[in-house]
Amino acid sequence: MLHIKPILSSLLRSKSGPLLLLIQIILSVAIVANASFIIHERLVLMQRPSGIAEEEILSFRTYNFDPAMDKVQQNKLDQRILQGLPNVIDATSTNMLPLSGGGWSSTLNLGPDPDTTKSTPQFAMYLGTDHTLNTLRLKLVEGRNFYADEITEHLNSSSKLAIVSQALAKASWPDESALGKVLYEGDSQITVIGVVEKLQGAWVDSADLENSIIQNVDYAGFSYLVRAKPQHHAELKEAIVAALLKENPNRVINHFETIGELKASSYRDHELMVAVLSMMVVLLLLITSLGLTGMVMFNIQRRTKQIGTRRALGAKKRDIMSYFLVENYLICLAGGILGALLAVLLGQQLMKFYSLPKLELIYPLLTLAGLLLVTTMAVFFPARKAADISPALATRSV
């Protein structure tokens, strides 16, 4: 039997302890549910596929100090040197690094008249060559890559080509293929010749992260991407420095980082938030469990005579244990329901002030289920100890 009525009567006779525990459970459920939701959201963000070979791509910069140097020719020569090094799969110049937190972004018009036409969503603007797709290991789902003779060195060319990410293509032309479409930038026209499955920009917290364009411009900014297997990166760094300095010693080559390292750096704040919130969740559940354990142990001492009398009248060990477990469930369920309501209200405030998505009810429910599990374990052992009290011992101790 559950004996709910005597349990409630006992709780009402000593209100302060159960009431404080109830408040603690309400706050724990509200905070843990929202914290768990935020943890899940951050983990989903961090695990988004970028569409590129993050751990294979090595980025670096060169800083030149020769005023007589022809930047365009030096840039072309450097790329040929990089592409010819042992263990290099491919290499290209670039104007920005994926997932780095900094780069170029823009919007373009979908028609020639900027006053009457719509514009694209914000996108990351990559400048690259016919080697860019292979260097990043992008998956082409429509159209084609740039041809070598289509690459220009002039950013202000009046007629350029572009390869766009699938996300940008769908946002700009939701019911049509992007191939052959023309984007307008002042007097310049940019024709879309290809669509890649996925290419993220530089800003991981941006709502437009998936929107990207690669234009056929070999940008002489002396920032490069080299793709090779990770086990070759250490020796490749030395080979890159040696080969480029041999060709032109009047420069500095540094800032070697993989795209995976750049991504980890960009998501560092998210990782910290996940770690802090996870520790908070564990601590709240632990404190709540300790509170229930303390209350049960106090009740055992206070009810020793009552427990012994019940055992003398024929109560079994499982009856004594069920008494304390049901008492725990009543407090947890009452606190859990009120805590779930508070969690929803708290979630609405987080939506309003921090632009978080709506809290799903599954999180308060899972929090309550986890709380019941943890507190059951916390109450079980003191309850079993209470069930072992003999009538004779109870009589002598009072």
pLDDT tens digits for range 180-205:
999 998 778 999 999 999 999 999 99
How far is the C-alpha of 176 from the C-alpha of 372, rounded, in Å? Answer: 52
Q: Identify whether residues 249 and 118 lie together within a single domain.
A: yes
Q: Which of 265, 283, 311 is the last residue before a domain boundary?
A: 265
- Looking at the structure, tell me whether residues 219 and 294 fall in a common domain: no
Is the per-residue pLDDT at 309 higher than 70? no
* Residue 7 to residue 16: CA distance in whole angstroms: 15
Residues 245 and 358 in one domain: no
Joined together, the tokens standing for residue 174 give 């939701």
222 alpha carbon, distance to own chain's centre: 31
40-54, 75-89, 171-185, 334-348: least confident range: 334-348
pLDDT at 177: 95
Tokens of 122: 């914000």
Is the pLDDT score of 230 beyond 60? yes
Residue 21 CB: number of other CB atoms within 10 A?
Answer: 21
| Residues 33 and 177 grouped into a single domain | no
The confidence band for 395, taking pLDDT boundaries of 50, 70 and 90, is low
Whether residues 261 and 292 share a domain: the answer is no
- pLDDT at 398 (0 to 100): 44
SS3 at position 15: coil
Q: How does residue 12 score in pLDDT terms, banded at 50, 70 and 90?
A: low
Strands (E) in 43-179, as ranges, are 57-64, 90-93, 105-106, 123-127, 140-143, 159-165
Within-domain flag for 24? yes
- Does position 52 have pLDDT exceeding 50, yes or no? yes
| 324: its two tokens | 């304390």
Residues 303, 309, 315, 316, CA torsion sign: positive
Residues 223 and 343 in one domain: no
For residues 287 and 162, state if they share a domain. Answer: no
Q: Both 75 and 29 in a single domain?
A: no
Q: Are 212 and 353 members of one domain?
A: no
Q: Which residue is listed with tokens 């411009």?
A: 217
Residue 52 included in any domain: no
The whole-model pTM stands at 0.78
Query: What domain range is 288 assigned to?
Result: 4-47+268-396
Q: Are residues 78 and 175 in the same domain?
A: yes
Does 245 share its domain with 282?
Answer: no
Confidence band of 391 (pLDDT split at 50, 70, 90): low
- For residue 306, the model assigns a pLDDT of 67
One-letter identity of residue 25: I
Q: Map residue 161 onto helix, strand or coil.
A: strand
The number of folded domains in the chain is 2
The length of the chain, given as a count of residues: 398
Higher pLDDT: 395 or 311? It is 311
Which of the pair, 84 or 318, is modelled with greater confidence? 84
368 Cβ partners below 8 Å, 6+ apart? 29, 332, 333, 336, 337, 339, 340
Return the H-helix or E-strand segment holding 219: none
Rounded-to-integer distance, Cα 293 and Cα 297, Å: 6
Assess whether 28 and 137 both reside in one domain.
no
